[in-house]
Structure formats: C-alpha cells, structure tokens
Amino acid sequence: MSTARPSSPNQPDSALRWFLRGATNLFSVPALILSTSFVGFAALAMEAGITQAQAVFMTLVIWALPAKVVLVGAILAGSGLFGAGFAVALSSIRLTPMVVALVPELRTAGGRRWVLYALSHFVAVTSWVIAMAHVREVPRDMRTAWYLGVGGTLTVANAVVVAVVYQIAPHMPAAVSAALFMLTPMYFLTSLWGSARERATHVAMAAGLLLGPFFAWLSPQFSLMLSGLVGGSAAFLWHRTRGRRA
C-alpha cells in the first residue's frame, strides 16, 4: 500500500503529515502479518518465563523478531549475559546490508547524523520492505519523518500486541500460536524475493534454501550461518562471472 502522495499546492508538506502517512502502513498486509507473528512470539516468551514487562521492553529495544527469538532461546538454554548478548548481536548483523541500502535514501543535505542512527533502530525486514518499495515516492526532505512513521508505529503497535497477548494467551490453543508465528518466515521469504533488484539475490536465496537442509544435518548449530555464507558467496561469484561475460 503506497501512502506517499504528493501534496496539493494549497497543502504544503509538513513533517507531521508525512509521519502520519508513514504510520498508515500499519494497516497494510505486511504489517498485519508481522503483528500476527508477534502473537506467537508473546506465547513463546510466556513459556520461557519472561514477564509481560520484559517482553514489551524486548520488543521496543530489540525490535527485530528473529533477534528476540534468539534471546529467548539463549535464556532457555541458560546462557550467560555475554553469551546471550553476543547471540543477539550476531543474529542482527544480517540487518546491516539493509541499513546500508536504506540510509542513503533517507539522507538529506545538512541532515543530522544522529537522526539516521536513531532511525536505523527501526530497520527490520517488514519496515525495510515497505520503505524500499515507497521511499522514492516521498520528497527527500520528508523521508526521515515518513520512515519514523513507518518504523516507529510498527514498533509501538507490536509492543501493544505483545502486552495484550499476555492477557489472552492462557486462553489460546498452542497450535494457533505456533501457526501464527510461522507466518513471519513465509512472509519474509516472499517479500525479499519480490523486492530483489538483481538476479543474484534470487540465486542467493535459492542456494540458501537448497543448502539449508544439508547443513542442518551436517552441523545443526551453524547451519544458518553456513547456508548464508556458502549460498551468498556462490551468488556473488555467479554475479561477478555473469558481469564479466556481459
């Protein structure tokens, strides 16, 4: 859903207006799928003995859903503070290329760097996909306000979802929570495939999907990292070779 419409001559641009336009993406299909996935996360956090306040705090300060799942897994495994923090940081490295791709689209001449640093906190797959699809429809000097509306609203709304689920989860079947949680990886996969700008991205994703089961059998603890490393390297080499031939 694109909410980035040009202003009329009688209705000059304002940061608040573009913030609200970004916030309306909360009612898009991607945001709805993300919110249903947070229902599953909240149920998982409850099973791990995490309190409502802790789960809401995790949603606000970590934000990316996979990183929170990693943290919950580290807690269940009895990992120490350093080990849990390292696991979360390692899982979040995957967001670095997204930040690198998005920040140049948000940067303005004379803009403050701390604003871009702050907005980088809201970069996760859903907000990134929405932003990359529509950010170029937004006037450059209003993009930071617009993206704050996108990412900030998603973060706060899903923190509310987590808080509400803690109240109703005891009455929800476990199978329903698990099914809702699985919507996120399926959405991530289809969204990233559709938003890819180069064929090499499709090659990397296909290679990762094919290599995943093999590395899960070979080394379950490092299967995700190995699949990404080998699949991504293969796609990069394919892209470079194809470029030379062209």
Structure confidence by residue, pLDDT tens digits, 143-171: 999 999 999 999 999 999 999 988 887 77
Are 36 and 106 members of one domain?
Answer: yes
pLDDT-based confidence at 202, cuts 50/70/90?
confident
pLDDT-based confidence at 10, cuts 50/70/90?
very low
Tell me how many domains the chain contains.
Answer: 2
% the chain with pLDDT above 90: 25
Give the Cα separation of 174 and 44 in Å (integer): 10
On the question of pLDDT at 59 being above 50, the answer is yes
Instruction: Give the mean pLDDT of 109-124.
Output: 88
Instruction: Give the mean pLDDT of 208-228.
Output: 81
**Cβ neighbours of 31 (radius 10 Å):** 21
**Cβ neighbours of 94 (radius 10 Å):** 14
Are 132 and 163 members of one domain?
Answer: yes
On the question of pLDDT at 180 being above 80, the answer is no
Are 215 and 111 members of one domain?
Answer: no
pLDDT-based confidence at 203, cuts 50/70/90?
confident
Are 156 and 235 members of one domain?
Answer: no
| Pair of tokens at residue 192 | 């990233």
Host domain of residue 216 = 197-246
Is residue 9 a part of any domain in this protein?
A: no
Are 174 and 91 members of one domain?
Answer: yes
- Using a cut of 0.75, tell me whether the model's pTM lies above it: no
On the question of pLDDT at 183 being above 70, the answer is no
